[in-house]
Amino acid sequence: RITQGKGLMPDGTSRFTCKGKQIYHFMGTSTFSEYTVVADISVAKIDAAAPLDKVCLLGCGISTGYGAAVNTAKVEPGSTCAVFGLGGVGLAVIMGCKVAGASRIIGIELNKDKYAKAKEFGAGEYISPQDFKKPIQEALIEMTDGGVDFSFECIGNVGVMRAALEACHKGWGVSVIVGVAGAGQEICTRPFQLVTGRTWKGTAFGGWKSVDSVPKLVTEYMSKKIKVDEFVTHTLPFDKINEAFELMHTGK
C-alpha cells in the first residue's frame, strides 16, 4: 500500500518511461497502457470469455459499492436504506441493497438527471437536499419514522458523511463511508450520535478479497446475477480521454 500510493512497484521502482522520463503506476495498475507490469499480488485470473471493456468496472467502483451493502453493512431483508450520491458507486450500493432484500431504498442526489438510472437499479424514492429548508438528516428521520436502518456515503464529502450517520435510526442504524474524502479532511459528529447505538463503518473494496472475489464477481456478471453493462453511459476512443473526464466531472 505504501509503494502503491507513490505510484511504484513494491520494490520502489517504476517500470515505465516515456522519452526518458519516469512514469508512475496509477494505483498499482496503470490503466491507460495497452500492456502493463504489476505485482503478482495484483493479478486475478478471470473467465476468458468476459468482455474486458465491461468487467474492468469490477476492479473498483461496482465491486466496492455492491460489497459495501452485502458485505460491510450486511443489509437485511425488509430494511430501509439511504444512499447519498447516485454516481457509479451509489448505483452499485443500490444494486446490493436490492439483492439483499431491502424494502425501501432512498437515493439522495443534487443532480435530478440521475433519478431515472437509480430507479432502474432499484431505488424507489429520490430526494435532493436543496428541496428542504432543514438538514437532510432531519428530513430522512421524518420520512422514515426515526431514521434509516442503513446509510451509505458515496461522494467523499465529510459533511455528507456526518449527515449519513445522523440519518440512521438510534439503537441499530449502520452508516458506511464509501466515498474518498480529500487529503487531510476530518469527520466529526457529536458523541451522542454513537452513544445512542449507531455504528459508523468504513469499507475497503466492499469487503471483497480481490484475488478470490473478482473472478467470482465476473462469473456472477456472466450469469446475469449482477449488472455491469448498465453502468456504462459512454464509450469513447482513447484520443477522447479528456472528453471522457469532462463528462464524468459534469455528472453525465
Mean pLDDT of the chain: 94
- The domain segmentation of the chain, as residue ranges, is 1-41, 61-206
Query: Which range (29-43, 140-154, 173-187, 192-206) has the least confidence?
Result: 29-43
Give the separation between CA 76 and CA 53, rounded to whole angstroms. 32
- Domain 61-206: CATH class, spelled out: alpha beta
Q: Report which of 144, 89, 98, 160 is spatially closest to residue 123, judged by C-alpha positions.
A: 98
Pairing outcome for strands 21-23 and 16-18 = antiparallel
How many other C-beta atoms lie within 10 A of the C-beta of residue 193? 18
Phi/psi of residue 188, nearest 5 degrees: -145, 155
pTM score: 0.93
**pLDDT tens, residue by residue, 25-80:** 988 888 777 888 888 888 899 999 999 999 999 999 999 999 999 999 999 999 99
Contact call for residues 170 and 147 (beta carbons, < 8 A): yes
Q: Which residues pair with 84 in a beta bridge?
A: 108, 153
Q: 181 and 161 in contact (C-beta within 8 Å)?
A: yes
Mark 33-68 as b/e (b = at least 16 C-beta within 10 Å). Answer: eeeeeeeeebebebeeebeeebbebbbbbbbbbbbb
End-to-end C-alpha distance for the chain, whole angstroms = 32
Shortest CA distance to 181 belongs to which of 207, 145, 155? 155
